[in-house]
Structures are given as C-alpha cells and as structure tokens.
Amino acid sequence: MSFLHRQFTMRRVAAGWRSLRTRLWEHRGQLALSLRVTTAAVSSFALSHLLNIPLPLWTVLTAVILTQASFGRSLKATIEYLVGTLFGAIYAGVLAVLVPHGNDVALAGVMAIAVAPLALLAAIKPAFRVGTFTGVLVLLIPGTAHVGPIESALYRVLEVAVGGLTALVVSLLVVPARAHALAIEGAAGLLDLMARSLSELFSGFMQTCDAAVIRRVQDGIGQAFARVDAVGAEAKLERIGFLAAEPGLGPLLRTLLRLRHDLVMIGRAAAVPLPEAVQARIGPPLADVATTAAEYLHRSAEALAGRRDPPPFDAAEAALAGCAEAFEAVRRERLTRGLPVETVERVFALGFTLDQLLQNFRDLQRCVREAARSQ
C-alpha cells in the first residue's frame, strides 16, 4: 500500500512539475520582461549612488519606464524620453533664471508660463510629452532639494540619461528580446488570421452574410496589422551597427498591407451574393481559391514563424489561374448583361482583386524565403 501511495505521489509531483514548466514556457515573455525591469531598477539605483545623484528615485523610475518588451521599443522610448526631457529642462531652467519667483504666487505664474507651451508642444508632437513633466520638476525641485534651477535642470537630464542608458543596456543584455523577431512572429500570426478569415469573406459571394460579423473580421485583421507595423517601426531602430544582420522588414510589411487591402476588397465585393448566372460560372473556382489560398497563407505563416523556406505555391496559383479563366468566360459569354451597373462593377473589381492577390502571394513567397535565409 505504501508503495502504491509513493507511486501515486510521484506521479502527482511529476504532473505538477510538467504543468509548471508548461505555464512558465507560455509566460516566458512576461517573465523575461519582469527580470529585465527588476535588473534595470536595481542597476539604476546602484549607479545613482555611484554618481552621487541627489534623487535616485527619478533615475530608477526612468529605468523602469523605459525598459520595454524589446530592445527596439526601449531604444525608441529612450530617445523620445531624453529629447523631451532635454527640451523641457532647458526651457524651464532658463525661464526660472530669467523670471523672478520669490513667492508662491510668482512661482505659480512662472509655472503657467512654462507649462502652457510645453503642453501645447506635447499635444502637437507626442514625443515631447515628457517635457511638461520635466518643466514642472525643474521649477519645483529647487524648493525642496535646496538647489538652483540650473542645477535642478542638469540633475534632471542626468537622471534620465542614466536611467535610459541602464534600460538600454539591460534590454540588450538581460534575456534580450528583439523587435525584429517579435515583428516576424506578429506577421506570422497575421497571416494565420487572414487564412482563418478567408472562408468567412468568400462565403458572401454565395449567400447573405451578417455584416457585423464581416466588419469584426476586417477590424481584427486591421488591428493585427497595426500592431505588426508598430513593432516593425521599432525594429528599424535596431538596425544599427552590430544589430544590422537581418534584412529590413519593409518588403514584408508592404506585402502584408497589400494582402490586407486585397481582403478588404474581397469583403466589399462579397457584401451582396453574386447573381445566380455568375455564381454558376465562377462559384466553384472561387470556392477552390478560398480553400487553397487559406492553406497557402496558413503554411506560409508556419514557415515564416519557423524561418523555413516557403511552402509550394502551385495549388494556390492554379486555383487563381482557374478563377481568372472563369472571369474571362463571364466576359465572353456576357453573363453580366442586363445586371445593375453596381453589380457589374463588383464582379469585375473582384476579378482585378484576385489578380492582385496572385501577385501578392508571389511577393509573400519571396519575403518568407528571405526571412528563412537570414536565420
């Protein structure tokens, strides 16, 4: 009995350990970010003491704020934060020296003069939004830390510089995450989402679909592309000297955008089912395109995520070619004669969109191949 009990206990422990490892792996990105932020906080605190910075609080907070999910994002945030801080510190420091403010009323007036233009600049150019915060600190810190306005401005810039540099070094060295790799993962996820959406979009050619459902599908694809595009912008900042090994993401992002536009055009063409005569001719080829295109996008997503060569393109190419022949037959047999102008426009716009889809699939194949070769 004790032997069986020990066996049962060992199995439970093993199962619990496997479950823990699985959960840790699933949240590895969050755990890595937590480790980087912690390291940045402790390191910036130690540096503040080594450099005799009066208020380590701001150095630590800056390092924590600027340690982001990837090195590219940290670099972008640090540049914006440092530029905004420098501008706000110079402006508020000069203003504090030139305009007397010996009492609280005068200080409130100087603060209004400092904050108004800095807030306006932040509203126009969000990259300068930290300038307003810096201006207020430069004006108020002298009264509590017993330093002059110029010293206050210099210390503020030093605090941000030390905190930002710490964030960059930690993001680069401690369980580093690259924006380039995150963009590739996001692009693969977007392709997979497009693959899952095709059947829903193409079904509108044969039957009436819920417009709200189609709108949610399109919005989801648009939001996913926006996220990938934002990470791609961060990846551009990583292409400096020792980090410039990978090819740029521009061709891939442009191809994804064109594919996004193709799906928008397909969705618009499928807003109303096609006339029966046209359905009879191009319905089967369209169904074949929906199936093979979805499979091609799905397998391309897997290849891109795994940095492997692109999947064969033959089936999707043959299906799109067959669809082009069906559209030519519709023209030749004049199946659109007598139909409303709007319907005729939708039919031929669909034919043009599928031609573009063929070209964009070829571009996607090249992008996936380039990503595999850069591994």
Separation CA 305–CA 348 (nearest Å) = 35
* Closest of 68, 82, 279, 272 to residue 174, by C-alpha: 68
Kindly report the number of other CB atoms within 10 A of residue 76's CB atom.
21
Tokens, residue 78: 């640090």
pTM for this predicted structure: 0.70
Could you tell me how far CA 204 lies from the centroid of its own chain? 30
Given a cut of 80, whether residue 364 has pLDDT beyond it is: yes
Per-residue pLDDT tens over the stretch 98-114: 887 677 788 888 888 88
Separation CA 159–CA 143 (nearest Å) = 18
Separation CA 76–CA 312 (nearest Å) = 38
Radius of gyration of the chain (CA): 29
Per-residue pLDDT tens over the stretch 34-58: 888 899 899 999 998 898 888 788 8
State the average pLDDT for the chain. 83
Separation CA 66–CA 43 (nearest Å) = 13
Domains and CATH numbers, the chain: 30-173 (no CATH), 179-373 (1.20.58.220)
Contact 156, 138 (CB under 8 A): yes
Given a cut of 80, whether residue 124 has pLDDT beyond it is: yes
3-state secondary structure of 66: helix
Per-residue pLDDT tens over the stretch 309-339: 999 989 999 999 988 888 888 888 887 787 7
User: What is the structure's pLDDT at 209?
Assistant: 78
* Closest of 358, 334, 359, 357 to residue 347, by C-alpha: 334
